[in-house]
Structure formats: C-alpha cells, structure tokens
Structure 1
C-alpha cells in the first residue's frame, strides 16, 4: 500500500527569523559553515527541507549532528527522497528492489549512509550477499537514527507557507497525496503550477531551470508563489548551500550561501556577455572537436553551440561523452567586487558572485580578512 503524505502544522511567533536549508547531502563542513555565517542562534527556527543525507561522506555524522542540535535549537525537518534509504532498507521486505541497491550503492559507495553504517559496525558491503547482515545490524545498532528518520513529516504547512522537498500538485487534501511524489517531484517549477501559499522546495538544483546562465541563487517566482532553493551542494562543481532567510508571516526576502571557495577581489572591470549557455545535467552530451590538456573545444548538440570546456569536466557515461555543468558566460564585474574563485586557469578564472558563475579575465587580488560575499535581495 502506498504511503500517504504526513502533514504537520507549523506555527511560529510573528517576527521570528526563519532559516530554510535544503539538500545538504552529507556535507558537514558546508552545513556548519553556513550556520556560522548567518549567525544561527536559539532565536531562530531552522527548517531542513530534506535530502540531508546521501551523496556525501559525512551523512551519518551529519545526521547525528542535527539530532544533537535539535535538542538545543528549534529545528524542523521534512523527509526528502534521500532521507528514507536506511529505514526502507531494513523493511521486511525492503521497500526497494535489490536491483536498486546494487545500482545505487555501486555508484555512490562510501557516500551512502548504508556504507557508513556498515563501516561503523565492521560489516562488509560488497554486494547483495552482505545485505542481510547489515539489515539485521541497523535496527540494533542505530535505533535512535532510524527513529528520527521515520518520524519526519512529508511537509510542514502554515497559512502562508508550505515546505516540502520535491513539490505538491495542489494545496488542499494534502493528507491524501502519496508521499513519494511529494519527496521526488522532478522539474517542479517547469510544471507551471501556481499557489496561494508560498511553496518552498528543494530537490532539483536551481541551475537546471536556467538554460543560459549558470546560477545557484534561489529561484523565486512571486506570481506563482514558488521558491526553489537547492544550490547543488556536493553535486555541482561550483555548487553552494543556500539558506533562505525571512521573518515569520513575511515574504521570503533574502538569502545567503556557503560554497567553500576562496574569496578574491576583482581589480579590473569587465563587461558581461549574455549570449551564453548553461550546459546542465539534463542536456549535457557533447562532442569533442579538439582535445586539449586544459580545455577541449566541444559542440553542444542540444543548443548547437560550440564552446571550450575544461577537460576534467568531461566524462563518459553509457558510451556518451558528457560535461559537468559548465558555461561560456563572461561575467560582468566592477573593480572592487568580491567573488568566489572556483577555478584559476591559463585563460582566466571561473568565479561566482551572488550565485552566478562566469569567466573573468581581469586581475584578482587577495580578499581582505573581513571580506564577505555579496547577496542581492530576492524580492
């Protein structure tokens, strides 16, 4: 029988600062770095929008860290499609077929919480023959972790906001919705729904919605009352962890992000070039026209554009050459602008400002010790 959505009511004092973070994916350093940057305190409410776990080497450690913080801070969390893997694995029978675990664990290895649990209790996890021992060990060795994950609601709802990892098809009769499509709703923004509440989601990195500019800045659609905040943490070469910031009973007005890259200051001005492309995961096959040790000249068949792509951004999958998310955008900068430096190359630097990635050919100066990233208002 399909599990139905679990809906919890969320009521907070007017004016309380709310921090919403999604898709941490086991990146403990980014999580702690972002909380420190925004000055998270006991006066705030932190909403974790799902996919706290998986695809990161610190998933188990991060889970315990959040459980500990929840004893001292006001933290609410909804379940994402990567947060139920452990308790589904120990179901009787497991809720996912064996073929799924073979494929998933083969791809993510030590970045899966199942591998991290197996390592902690000294069990191998090489293939299906090792599954029964781990399935028996997890309830015995990790009862608190399982109980925490099983307790997570599918969504949090107030009169003004609806927080859910993937998305919802409607705002009424939420308890009648199947849980899984709410946790995993691919291309939610592209379905052109509109709502009366603000619907805040993660799940799909926001750069997937932007065909021309490679931007991890939260996507806010006021006319549809949708906010999408997944910055591609752990999944994109220039990914970041976003925090949506607002006062309870007010509209989402601000954000900050943490990306772990060093800061620098632009010494020279550069005009931007908006005739550009954002090669995204959903349309990333390319044809290599000319190979180079640092850059390859490539054709992107989906757009018909030819551009230079970092050689180590190219990989083979299913007999097809593909590219990590990349761009030929020339970013507009003024002297004194503070940027995150993603990559320095012989042709300039790939930098980020306000979540937007692009190429800069001017001089970069060391950032002062008190330099901070720039974040423009969301509304």
Structure 2
C-alpha cells in the first residue's frame, strides 16, 4: 500500500506519551529547516537547561536550510538528553518514505535538503540520483543507517496530561490513536477549521502569521478559547521569517523567544507609525492594478476588495493574471534615528524591515546596513 495514500491507520510508535513535572518549563520549537546554528542561538536565548527543562522539537528539522546533515546529527544528540522529544514533520521523512510517488519531483524542486547533502558526501551524481530516486534513497539509508533509523522512528503525536504536540494538525473529534497520520504532518490552514481541544495543542507547519488578517506578526498565534498554539514563525518560508521558541508550563502558554537570520541596519531618519490597512498572506495574492505611481502601484486585493499601495516591483503579471510576488502588509513602523532593525528585503525605493516580530516598510534611503 502506498504509505501516503491516507488510508493507513496510526501505527505503533507514531504516538508517544510524555510526563512533564509540575512547574517544569517545556520549550517547544518547530520548523527549524536545516538551520542548526539558528536553533543553537534560540536554545541559548531561551536559557535551555538540559535535565531541568523539557524540550519538544515539533517537526521539520530538515529541508530548506544549508546544514541538514549537521542538524540531523545535532537532533540525534539532543534526543539522548532527558526530557527531549522530537516529532516527525513533512520535510523529515524523505529518506524513509521511499515509496512516496511524488518524491522524485520533490527532490528535483528542492535543492537544499538532506538527500542532496548525503548524495554529495557519497559522490552520487545529481542526474543519476534523480534517474532512480527510490533506489538512491535505499543506497543512502544503507550508507547512513543510524540517521535513517532515527528519522523512521520519529512519532507523529506526543501526548501528555497537559498537552498534545503534532507537526501540523489533529482532529479534535478523534482520540490521538485514531488520527490520520498524514493529516497530522501535512494539513495546512488547520486553525481555520479546527475544533476545541481539552488540552493545549501545539502545532507548527503553517506559518502563524497566515492566521491574522489584521496585522503581520511572526510570533506564535494563540487561540486560548480552543486551546491551540501555532508556533511556526516562517523560518526559511516567509520573507523575514523567524524561529520561535514557545515557553510552556503546567499546561499554559507563557510566551516566546525568537531569532532570525536578518542582517542589521541602522535607521537614519525617524518615521511616524502608519497602521496597516491590509495584511495579505499566501496563497491569496491575486490583485488588480489600479494606478502606477512612480515606484508604487495602487492595487485592489481580489479576495477582500481592499485597496492599497505596494512597491511596484511586488506587483507582477502572470499567465493567470496579476499577483503579488510575496506576502504584503502596508504597515510602516514607528522608527527613531539610530534605531537598530533587521533588514528583510528591498523593493525599489522601499525596504522591508523587522522591528520586534513585526515586518513593515521604510524608504530604503533612510537605512544604513551594518
């Protein structure tokens, strides 16, 4: 049976139980995406104390970053520490899901992943690897048996008296052992249709900023009423994305720390705050250009009907119509001369920066990159 057919049940080992001590901090991180150095920075910022704190890595350890082999080895080291739990994400199973029919296409489209790092280390040519992707995976599993076994043995759900952890989603109407193991690691937009859970559910996979249509923030999105915490900060997925570390204790969400990879810049000119009127997230990028005004384009967002001005370089014509090239908010943060910010992107005369966990725009000439 095709292991990705969505017809197979939760198997032994896909569900794990955990016990957290009263008062113990539980640190939850997801979607590391092969960024070992970033994870180390976050653990330092969280003041992670092995043997005292619990640590849960909620999937997507790998893919999209440049240090997948190193990240996997680091995860295996962490897994030997007390109170460390690591879950499978949809980007982690490439080496053991050898029968997945879509795998060759995925491998061809994503150059930054464990498969290609291992191929390079073993001297396997790209063309040869793609010509027999499934056979190449078996070769790599034999070359790296401990790593392959580690990934194959990762659970889909972690359950305790206070929490559920899953990479992407759970069905509130079903007990953990009756969940769909593919939906658990692949479902997008989970919060939009999720029910209410009796314990706090922590998920990653889908950037939390996609859930808020009023303002763009990359820190976790917490639905207190339904007991759902979405912690994916868009690391290596969103422009200006970050790696979030949620702090939990006794079944409650206390807050988070985060790190990103953005270069620093200094503000040369103050800017007054301009609240956001739009916050456009993937995949609703369809717009209608109304007027080109120098370096800006006045647009109407097809889904919401809202009008806004965006840097002209972000408005692109495709075979199916006009679209934004990326997520967009028209927020302009309050800035003081000399303030240090993160520089996420440039678009013509404008620069996308981050102040705290929130991206916004400033004239590019008002910044000096450090």
Q: TM-score range by the shorter chain?
A: 0.7 to 0.9
Distance 1:176 1:246, change over 3 A: closer
Q: How does 1:1-379 map to 2 (within 5 A)?
A: 2-4=8-10, 6-42=14-50, 43-72=52-81, 74-89=83-98, 94=99, 96-97=100-101, 100-108=102-110, 110-126=111-127, 128-170=130-172, 173-247=175-249, 249-263=250-264, 270-287=271-288, 298-304=299-305, 305-309=307-311, 311=313, 321-333=323-335, 339-343=341-345, 347=349, 349-360=351-362
Partner of 1:377: none
Distance in 1 separating the partners of 2:159 and 2:23: 17
Q: CA RMSD in A?
A: 3.1
Distance in 2 separating the partners of 1:313 and 1:240: 25
Shift of 1:255: 0.4
Distance 1:316 1:266, change over 3 A: same
Do 1:243 and 1:257's aligned partners in 2 also have CA atoms closer than 8 Å?
Answer: yes
Give the secondary structure class of the aligned counterpart of 1:18.
Answer: strand
In the alignment of these two chains, the number of paired residues is: 358
Shift of 1:191: 0.8
Distance in 1 separating the partners of 2:15 and 2:333: 43
Shift of 1:14: 2.0
Distance in 2 separating the partners of 1:7 and 1:171: 17
Shift of 1:347: 4.6
Do 1:208 and 1:282's aligned partners in 2 also have CA atoms closer than 8 Å?
Answer: no
Distance in 2 separating the partners of 1:11 and 1:280: 37
Distance in 2 separating the partners of 1:221 and 1:319: 35
Give the secondary structure class of the aligned counterpart of 1:86.
Answer: coil
Partner of 1:370: none
Distance in 1 separating the partners of 2:283 and 2:147: 34
Q: Mark the runs of 5 or more structure 1 residues left unpaired by the alignment.
A: 368-379
Do 1:233 and 1:240's aligned partners in 2 also have CA atoms closer than 8 Å?
Answer: yes
Give the secondary structure class of the aligned counterpart of 1:83.
Answer: coil
Do 1:293 and 1:311's aligned partners in 2 also have CA atoms closer than 8 Å?
Answer: no
Distance in 1 separating the partners of 2:367 and 2:22: 44
Output the TM-score relative to the length of structure 2.
0.85
